[in-house]
Each structure stands twice: as structure tokens, then as C-alpha cells.
Amino acid sequence: MSQQGMRILCVDDEASIRRALRPPLLDLGFQLVEASRGEEALQQLRSGSFDVVLLDINMPGIGGLETLRRIRAFAPRLPIVMVTVRDGEEEKVEALELGADDYVTKPFSMRELIARIRTAVRRFHAPLRSEDAPIQIGGLHLAPVRRTVTQNGQAVRLTRKEYEILYYLMSHAGRPVTYAKLLTAVWGADCREEVEYLRTFVRQLRKKIADNPTQPRYLFTDPHVGYRFVDPQMFTEDNITPQDNPQEPSPDLSRAL
């Protein structure tokens, strides 16, 4: 979907942030509607149609997380990108568990925000994929029917759990996946807290797909939150690098935000 005419509902109680976001979003062709509280956002959503919601977590009134919960009750698939503070890891995890599509951390760069918005909207409009359909991301090809993985045409030998981790992450490419959600998907709900166990498997998986953890190409760590499998081409198109990549800082709006 083209961003021209795309309607964004920006929900933030800080007028300075809404003012800072307004000119660049409008210049890029987005239509912007603003709300300062969760209650106002819910009214806007019930009376109008939007392509994505940009939702601050820390707001007076019902707050961002409760607003998210109520939105999901009547709009389960509407793309929602949360705005968080840097030390709000627990809130990030809770937001993702409640159904947020992604998050950005203040202060954030404008191009990072736009990429998160575009990615969430692309996923929403993408055709539903069969669980048995092959997945191709970059040089990696995963065939669920045969349970095989190749990289640039060469077979990658994975254990059963390594394959299941990779399949789940590639099936949710572009989205942050919490440790608890990944552990539950692969090992079951009784293992939701076994984060160190998961990290051991991910380290082995990275070695096998030749993904350097200091300069990852596919499998990124969202600190204190979980993992994110990315399509390198997606970030080339959007001219950004993933949020947690310390190697390539991007211009930001920190002074305005």
C-alpha cells in the first residue's frame, strides 16, 4: 500500500512530540489525526478509518496499555506501533503480549519510525500465508513440508529445536517476538521463563546461518525483549537499520522529542 493517503492516528499526551511529528509525516504524504489521551483515541477509531495507530505507552487517563487492550477488542488486526521510553522493557514486553505490532523507543529517528509504520502496514495488507508455504528471506530458504533450510542453495543442518525457532521467527519476520512467546511456541508454556536456555539455541542457530551476532544480517536481539528476524532488503528499501543495531546510528529527532 502506498503511504500517500495513509491515515495515521497519533496518540500522545505530549503536544511537543505531536508537533515534531506533524511536518515530516505530512510532507511524506501521510494523513495525520491526533489524540492526546487514550479515551480520545478510542472515540476516533470508532468514528473513522485508520491504517495504523502510533500509540504512546505513558499517558494519563486509561494509559497506553489499556488503550491497546481496548483497541484489540474491536480491531484485532489494526497495525499498532507503540512509543516507549528507553527503560521501559517490561512495558514493551507487555505491549507485544497484548498484541502490539512493533515499538519505537524515545528518542527515535524519523526514518526508523517511518520504517516501523510501513512494515506494520505491509504485514497487514499482505496475503495470508499457508503454514506449509516455503519462506524465502535474503539467501535463506525454509521449506516447511520437507523441514529443510538452505542458504544460497547450500543445505543448513539444524536440530529439531533450531529448525522450530527459525521457522517461528521467519514466519513472523519483521516483528519483535518476545522471549516468552518464542519459548512457548517451541517448548510449551511451562518453559516461558527459560531465557538462557533459548539464548544457547539462538547462538548455535546464528553460527549455522552465518549470522554474526556483532553485526547481524538476519537475527537481531531486541534487548530485554526478544528477537526480531529481518529481511535485509526491507531495511535497504527503507534506508534504515534495525533499532537495536549499535553499528549504524541514524539521524534522529531527539532534540524535538
The residue to which cell 502510533 is assigned: 54
Output b/e per residue, 91-119; b: 16+ Cβ within 10 A.
bbbbbbebbbbbbbbbebbbbbbbbbbbb
Give whole-number Cα distances, 153 to 146, 159, 200, in Å: 15, 19, 26
Answer for the pair 252, 111: CB distance below 8 angstroms, yes or no.
no
| Closest by Cα among 169, 245, 257, 244 to 205 | 169
pLDDT at 213: 80
DSSP-derived pairing of the beta strands 154-155 and 176-178: unpaired
| Closest by Cα among 163, 165, 138 to 152 | 138
Largest CA distance in the chain: 55
Give whole-number Cα distances, 44 to 38, 94, 125, in Å: 10, 24, 22
Answer for the pair 32, 22: CB distance below 8 angstroms, yes or no.
yes
Angle between helices 63-74 and 38-47 in degrees, nearest 10: 20
Tens-level pLDDT at each residue, the chain (257 residues): 455 578 999 999 999 999 999 999 999 899 999 999 999 999 999 999 999 999 999 999 999 999 999 999 999 999 999 998 877 789 999 999 999 999 998 888 888 899 889 888 888 887 777 888 999 999 999 999 999 999 999 999 999 999 999 999 999 998 999 999 999 999 999 999 999 999 999 999 999 998 888 888 899 999 899 999 998 766 544 444 454 443 333 334 433 33
pLDDT at 232: 76
pLDDT at 221: 93
| Closest by Cα among 200, 237, 241 to 220 | 241
User: Nine-digit cell at 58?
Assistant: 505513558
CA distance linking residue 25 with residue 72, whole number of Å:
25
pLDDT at 235: 52
Domains and CATH numbers, the chain: 7-125 (3.40.50.2300), 135-238 (1.10.10.10)
3-state secondary structure of 87: coil
DSSP label of 148: E
Model pTM score: 0.83
